[in-house]
Amino acid sequence: MTIQESLNKLFSLHTFGIKLGLDNTLKFLDYLDNPQKKIKTIHVAGSNGKGSTSAFLASMLTEFGYKTGLYTSPHFVRFNERIKIGNREIPDDFVAEFVEKHEKKIDELKLTFFEVTTAISFEYFYSKKVDYAVIETGLGGRLDATNVLNPIAVVITSISLEHTSILGETLEKIASEKAGIIKNNVPVFTGNLPDQAFKVIERKCKDLNCNLFRLEEYIINRTDSIELYTEEIELDDFSMPLRGNYQKLNAALAGLVISKTFISDDYEHIENGIKNVIDNTGIQGRYEYFHNQPDIIFDSAHNPDGIKSFLSEFSKDYKGYGKKTLLFAAMKDKAIGEMLGDLGTYFDEIRVTEIEYERSAKIDDLIRVAGEKGISAIAERNIDDFILGFMKNSPDDCLVVLGSIYLLGEVKSRLQNKLA
């Protein structure tokens, strides 16, 4: 089986959609002799910031000299981006051989794309004898396919209203789903959570005898800086390659996890993990400049809290731009109206598009929702030509491509080929 044939097989499993529950995952992992039980892991969940926090954790562990696996989702351009050791993606051959070898069992269990991909990551990390693996949840936590681990630490980065039709319509219900990854006697670390969500996490930690570390108890949050102070380390002037105060919070949360889990006072390796996160993990799509003058910015904000975080940074620059254009796409289960309402006042022109994905909101629906917010949105059906044309605009102009990681991935994949 070639890599393309194996990927075609994997992507065909999207037919089974999102299937929450662990029965089939556990059966498949048992068939594989449970590789997830043979690796040391840090398990990360959250509504926003879980990808960045996972990357900071993996980068710090790499700086300490550990062979570190990183499993995140979704990918931007290549499937292999989801599964890395250091900044090296899983080889095509491993993916192809895995799918070919286990295709019969995959079909027998009617596994989903995410269930199989999760199993591939565990098998790969075990086969390569990683020292640690940082594992990001897909959707929720309790019934997520990754929730088969006995990790050395659990991290919950943030909780906001998302996927309400699946996870619940209140912060408490969503927090309960995220808290499902908490295990007996395993330390738990939380980012800045709403009080009603934190109380749910706190109760779960008490029930399971877990030490709970709340980020806000260890930081001083200044206007343009975050200072982290624990019994082990002091970080008050760290270099950040990713823009945004929210990214400093993600980095500080990762530093707290490492210092407390490993009882480490080696602040230099933690600082280097922050500074070198892009080189160590290849993280992308976080206030990423795809082109300069005119500026084209890619950002993976995909829910209201993510949009607010993006705008907190964009607001520092937007008055200095000439024409400001937004290209927006979103999944249909997101709070589209709220997101567009927040974005509308910052852009002179809003263009909406859709992507080739079953959960994508349609252009007509985006235009209708925008209209309900008093926003005039323009349909954009030829994304590539529009962005390539924008590159010839005035150097003072700015285009923000935002709203879905799937949009960024689709755009980057095609543009990189056309610009090569």
Contact at 8 Å (CB) between 145 and 114?
A: yes
Contact at 8 Å (CB) between 163 and 333?
A: yes
Per-residue pLDDT, 149: 97
Contact at 8 Å (CB) between 105 and 31?
A: yes
Q: Is the pLDDT of residue 16 over 80?
A: no
Per-residue pLDDT, 157: 97
Per-residue pLDDT, 162: 61
Other C-beta atoms within 10 Å of 95: how many? 22
156-176: average pLDDT: 76
381-410: average pLDDT: 92
Contact at 8 Å (CB) between 285 and 308?
A: no
Q: Is the pLDDT of residue 163 over 60?
A: no
Q: Average the pLDDT over each of 171-175, 368-372, 406-410 and give the range with the smallest value.
A: 406-410
The greatest distance separating any two alpha carbons of the chain, rounded to the nearest whole angstrom, comes to: 59
Per-residue pLDDT, 133: 98
pLDDT per residue over 253-312, tens digit each? 999 999 999 987 888 999 999 999 999 999 999 999 999 999 999 999 988 989 999 999
Per-residue pLDDT, 302: 85
Q: Which long-range contacts (CB under 8 A, 24 or more apart) does 200-204 make?
A: 200/172, 200/175, 200/176, 201/156, 201/175, 204/176, 204/179
Name the segment(s) of the chain with CATH classification 3.90.190.20. 288-419
Name the segment(s) of the chain with CATH classification 3.40.1190.10. 3-281
Per-residue pLDDT, 8: 93
390-419: average pLDDT: 88
Per-residue pLDDT, 168: 54
Residues paired with residue 84 on neighbouring β-strands, in sequence order = 70, 89
Per-residue pLDDT, 18: 59
What is the pLDDT of the chain when averaged over all its residues? Answer: 92
Q: Is the pLDDT of residue 368 over 90?
A: yes
> Cα–Cα distance between 295 and 166 in angstroms, integer?
37
CA 69 vs CA 59, 114, 118, 241, 285: distances in Å: 10, 17, 13, 21, 20
Count Cβ neighbours within 10 Å for each residue of 55-81 and write b for 16 or more, e otherwise: bbbbbbbbbbebebbbbbbbbbbebbb
392-411: average pLDDT: 90
Q: Is the pLDDT of residue 164 over 50?
A: no
What is the CATH T-level fold of the domain 288-419, as seen in this structure?
Answer: Protein-Tyrosine Phosphatase; Chain A (3.90.190)
pLDDT per residue over 177-206, tens digit each? 999 999 999 999 999 999 999 999 999 999
pLDDT per residue over 31-64, tens digit each? 999 999 999 999 999 989 999 999 999 999 999 9
Q: Is the pLDDT of residue 223 over 90?
A: no
What is the CATH T-level fold of the domain 3-281, as seen in this structure?
Answer: UDP-N-acetylmuramoyl-L-alanine:D-glutamate ligase (3.40.1190)
Per-residue pLDDT, 407: 84
377-382: average pLDDT: 95
The two tokens of residue 253 are 């949360």
128-135: average pLDDT: 98
> Cα–Cα distance between 78 and 135 in angstroms, integer?
18
CA 263 vs CA 188, 230, 258, 260, 275: distances in Å: 14, 10, 7, 5, 21
214-232: average pLDDT: 89
308-334: average pLDDT: 93
Contact at 8 Å (CB) between 329 and 353?
A: yes
Residue 167's pLDDT band, with cuts at 50, 70 and 90, is low
What percent of the chain has pLDDT above 90? 76
Task: Say which DSSP state 294 is in.
Answer: T
pTM over 0.85: yes
151-161: average pLDDT: 93
- The three-state secondary structure class of 291 is strand
> Cα–Cα distance between 118 and 124 in angstroms, integer?
10
State CA 18 to chain mean position distance. Answer: 17
Which of the pair, 407 or 92, is modelled with greater confidence?
A: 92
The two tokens of residue 291 are 């082109």
> Cα–Cα distance between 393 and 296 in angstroms, integer?
11
92-120: average pLDDT: 97
> Cα–Cα distance between 282 and 38 in angstroms, integer?
26
Other C-beta atoms within 10 Å of 188: how many? 24
